[in-house]
A and B are shown apart, each in its own frame.
Chain A
Amino acid sequence: MDLTTLARQLTETIGAEHVSSTPDACAAYALAGQTPDIVAAPGSVAELGQVMALASAHRAIVTPWGGGTRQAHGGLLARAAGRPWLVIRTRRLNRLVEYEPADLTIVVEAGMTPVELDALLRPHGQMLPVDAPLPERTTLGGMIATAADGPRRLGYGLLRDLLLGTSVVETSGRISKAGGAVVKNVSGYDMMKLYLGSYGTLAIVATASFKLIPRPRDAATIWCSFATQAAAFALVEALHTSQLAPAAVEYLAGAEDLPAPRGLAVLAEGLQAAVERHVRDVSHLARQAGAQDVQILRDEDSTRLWARIANLPQTADPAPNELVVRLSCLPSDLNQALQDAASLADRHGLALLVDARALSGVAYLRLHSAATANQAGTALRAWHQELLVRWPYLAVLACAVVTEEGRPLKEHLSPWGPEPAGYTLMQRIKHEFDPQGMLNPGRFVV
């Protein structure tokens, strides 16, 4: 392992001020107690390509790093002995490439944050309604790599539906693009779908183009407090059966700073009359379902609540005794899955925070133990194993807990659940893109 040469070559390529190679300077990028050897921050797509080519020549292990908000997701990095570990930051790639508002599309570099993007879109009455957590820190590239979602996936679809094209830097340093900057395109394979949610294991996203949505004219939130989960889900069922078209329906339990400890937040967006109709009908359905209280939030109050909800799936850094998972299931199973999660949490003495996309079948669960670290590890591990038996689509998003032996608890968890169907095929794809096993080994399914 010739770290000195790699560091020197990187310095020559992108400038000394953008390369860190001392343990102190790299400490901020440590993952699960391990510190990378070098952190490099290329300033252009071309430099990103060059950095990757150098990394490849040195058979480095590479961790692409956007805002660093989702580096805790998944498995532990498998650091092979004798191979340098390089973190490549994309944050300096934050330029606007192309934006003609009337086209309803935009092309940007991947290091841009959603807050920066929104500042460009807002004056033109447009938006990218993805609502990922920590929008001032997370990057669009990171959101693509982790397939980030937000409450409004119900109304506007997923990032998967809004991502029109990408250019990526591959392990060889070569740049390849896919898709385009137009909203409809069947020219060649939809490569973006493969990069989306691949956790940086195939290539590094350099630029991305998105389909934009006109900002709604009006919005209101109907907050419905419930005493029980069952009652809240009675409202979920009623909403499902109705022809109402809310932009978001979130079931929330155990979180602070919300109007009530347990409730359903329904967001209506669109024409003013349509929003008022939702306010009326949802309030009525909520009372029928036994809501204890119904509050209508507008303007700033509404915006603040949804900003809070969007951040619920994670904090900037996981708390010491915390486990964060994403559970997915068929929407019809969500009520039962959440009941199972809650009763297991009770049994193991864990506090549970639930943020569930109630009509989509996705829930972010945060488990916290007030016990000592060792007891917490045992309880969290048991909770995870028992829930995984019943609900196999359980992804570990964060867990900083350390076991009695001083090892990360993650080593004992199956971070992505059982082997997915088509696993062999996924391995073949991974091998075609990354034959040297450079990109984020151990972190993802493949």
Chain B
Amino acid sequence: MERAQLIEELRRIVGSDGVLYRPEDLVTYDSDGCVMETHAPQVVVLPTSTEQVSAVVKLAAQAGMPIVPRGAGTGLSGGATPRHGGIVVTTSRMSRILEFDARNGRVLVEPGVINFELSQYLKPYGYQFAADPSSQKACTVGGNFANNSGGPHCIKYGVTGSHVLGAEVVLADGSVIWTGEGVPDRPGYDLTGILVGSEGTMALATKIWLKATRLPESTRVVLALFPDISNSVETVSQVIAGGFLPAALEVMDRLAIKAVNEAYKMGLPASAGAALIIEVDGVEDGLDELLAEIVDICNKNAAIEVRPARTVEEQTQVWAARKNAFGAMGRLAPTYYLVDTVVPRTRLPFMMEQVKLISQEFDLPIANVFHAGDGNLHPIILFDRSDPDQYQRAHEAASRVMKLSIEQGGVISGEHGIGMEKQEYMPLLFTADDLGAMAAVHESFDPNDLFNPGKIFPRTQTGKELASQRHAVMAGHTNGENEFDKVTRLIKSQGEKVWI
């Protein structure tokens, strides 16, 4: 299909003001928050309804052009970058909160609703949307759905996947189905579960039923400053061992403290090597005693200073330091590379030691902010993007962190997704058979690779290729070798540690 004709057809579907195609308009859409690679789309559409999205998808399928879904573009793994060009479908005009059903603890939204605005909307009713990624003031719930976003509170409340009840999705043939609406335990495969976190590679959500979570009656927050990271991690272990699961456990290291001090005049002591935020919530009863216990644990672990926050104002101030940490990095360097990996939480002190060594080896400052409750680390590599050598070193340092995390029994992304950033690391974490199973699901949803192609699966082993290799295995055509022998050999090659 000619470009002019395509644009004409798209204008007919979404209206002339809903189609962007001039080069200067397309630049905005050539990447998301991960700027390692940019690719401009041929065209951007801004639909306002499911019917429009469906028509656009049908047209794209006919024209053989990729569909790249996009929320606010705050993603950090290149998930919304149109690697192979095509049509970017942005959800910014599908941003209505359609229905709040307090009795069933659910809220129906369009994918373009901003995460923070949803929680603000629910607050007067005594509810929240519990997934709260750091980008919550800008990111959309559709993006949260695609990336299975986390946030500081997921130790207690769980990631986005635990808060999606179902969705209306447009499939690769343009048909529309509902995967759920809030009735629990529906028979059939959990399509909602597999779609959440699939990074827009299998379908496009046009309406989402999200769980609305009751706000806790009361909350207490403690900010504790320690000489070293290890004190903070040990404190966290002891708090958890005390038989209470906090709502958040966040740590910042020395460099991150310096950044927030400079940017926001936080007045945190310069001698502190770690700042730990502990939040507990629930009914009011017992929280003050718990707070006292936590303060005591902090002190026993050589805290330099402990600031309990009881009022909402005090708590907001404590959280401001953490929530603005990324923004504060601008004080320290022109660019930063935010790494996102996860290790079993007892390996965090080891990882922090290693990050320090990596920082020395590559001669780049690295600040750390991490979710200490769930082992999700976020080394922030500071560099100057305009210096090609620094750019190279930053990427090598990030690569080292990912490989180390895998060696420590961890994974390469806790909440930012794979996208383009980490697709080449997938084979380090998964075997061809593991990836093949994922490819089989992809094949079921999107056999022509229409949705967000070139993501998640490694470039050298595309989903399509993995799926066909798997078909051969399933049919028993594996180079003449008996499948039983092959399985035996494969299992032996994996050794005792089949899992994990």
Residues in A lying within 8 Å of B, measured CB to CB = 9, 45-46, 49-50, 52-54, 56-57, 97-98, 100, 102-105, 107, 125, 147, 149, 157, 160-161, 165, 167-168, 170-178, 180-191, 193-194, 196-198, 202-203, 206-207, 209, 213-217, 240, 243-245, 270-274, 276-278, 326, 328-332, 360-362, 393, 395, 416-417, 420-423, 425-426, 428-429, 431-433, 435-436, 444-446
Contact = CB atoms under 8 A, between A and B. Distances in A.
B105 interface: yes
A173 B289 contact: no
Contact of A188 (B188, B190, B243, B435): B435
Nearest to A165: B500
A69 to B, nearest CB: 17
Contact of A216 (B241, B243, B413, B488): B243
B188 A435 contact: no
B162 to A, nearest CB: 5
B330 interface: no
B98 interface: no
With most chain B CB atoms within 10 A of its CB, the pick from A9, A103, A445 is A103
With most chain A CB atoms within 10 A of its CB, the pick from B282, B418, B426, B499 is B499
B150 A184 contact: yes
Contacts of B181: 330
B185 A425 contact: no
A50 to B, nearest CB: 6
B184 A360 contact: yes
Interface size class, chain B = 35 or more
B371 interface: yes
22 contacts: A45-B499, A53-B488, A56-B476, A57-B482, A102-B237, A102-B346, A173-B483, A174-B433, A175-B498, A176-B431, A186-B413, A188-B438, A189-B194, A217-B243, A243-B217, A271-B289, A276-B285, A277-B283, A330-B183, A331-B104, A393-B186, A431-B444
Given A97-B500, A172-B487, A214-B240, A147 B185 contact: yes
With most chain A CB atoms within 10 A of its CB, the pick from B283, B346, B429 is B283
Contacts of A445: 187-189
Interface of B: 101, 103-105, 126, 147-148, 150, 154-155, 158-159, 161-162, 171, 177-179, 181-194, 196-198, 214-217, 237, 240-245, 282-287, 289-290, 342-346, 371, 374-376, 409-418, 422, 426, 429-431, 433-438, 440-445, 456, 467, 470, 473-476, 482-484, 486-488, 490-492, 494, 498-500
B103 A240 contact: yes
A395 B187 CA distance: 7
A278 B286 CA distance: 12
A186 B487 contact: no
Nearest to B162: A161
A243 B417 CA distance: 34
Given A186-B197, A271-B287, 5 more contacts: A50-B484, A172-B487, A184-B415, A190-B196, A271-B282
Nearest to B290: A271
B341 to A, nearest CB: 9
Contact of A170 (B178, B282, B416, B437): B437
Nearest to A54: B484
B103 A188 contact: no
A187 B487 CA distance: 25
A327 to B, nearest CB: 10
A125 B189 contact: no
Nearest to A160: B193
A184 B488 CA distance: 32
Contact of A176 (B159, B182, B433, B467): B433
A422 B437 contact: no
Given A243-B216, A362-B185, A425-B177, A187 B413 contact: yes
Nearest to B423: A188
A102 B126 contact: no
Contacts of A157: 158, 162
A167 B500 contact: yes
B245 A194 contact: no
A34 to B, nearest CB: 23
A321 B346 CA distance: 53
B189 A184 contact: no
Contacts of B430: 177, 187-188
A189 B499 contact: no
B410 A330 contact: no
Given A157-B158, A213-B245, A167 B189 contact: no
A373 B86 CA distance: 64
A202 B184 CA distance: 21
B483 A57 contact: yes
Contacts of B445: 425, 428
B36 to A, nearest CB: 18
B434 A177 contact: yes
Nearest to B495: A46
A104 B433 contact: no
Q: Which 8 A-B residue pairings sit nearest by Cβ, starting from the closest? A: A193-B193, A273-B286, A271-B286, A173-B487, A432-B440, A420-B188, A277-B285, A428-B444
Contact of B194 (A180, A190, A216, A433): A190
Nearest to A45: B498
B429 to A, nearest CB: 6
A49 B282 contact: no
A299 to B, nearest CB: 16
A53 B283 contact: no
B342 A188 contact: no
Nearest to B470: A432
A167 B430 CA distance: 11
B241 A429 contact: no
B500 A172 contact: no
B346 A103 contact: yes
Contact of B282 (A177, A185, A270): A270
Contact of A433 (B429, B440, B499): B440
Contacts of A423: 188
A244 B283 CA distance: 7
A426 B283 contact: no
B117 to A, nearest CB: 23
A423 B187 CA distance: 11
A188 B440 contact: no
B498 A207 contact: yes
A103 B484 contact: no
Contact of B441 (A49, A104, A191, A206): A191
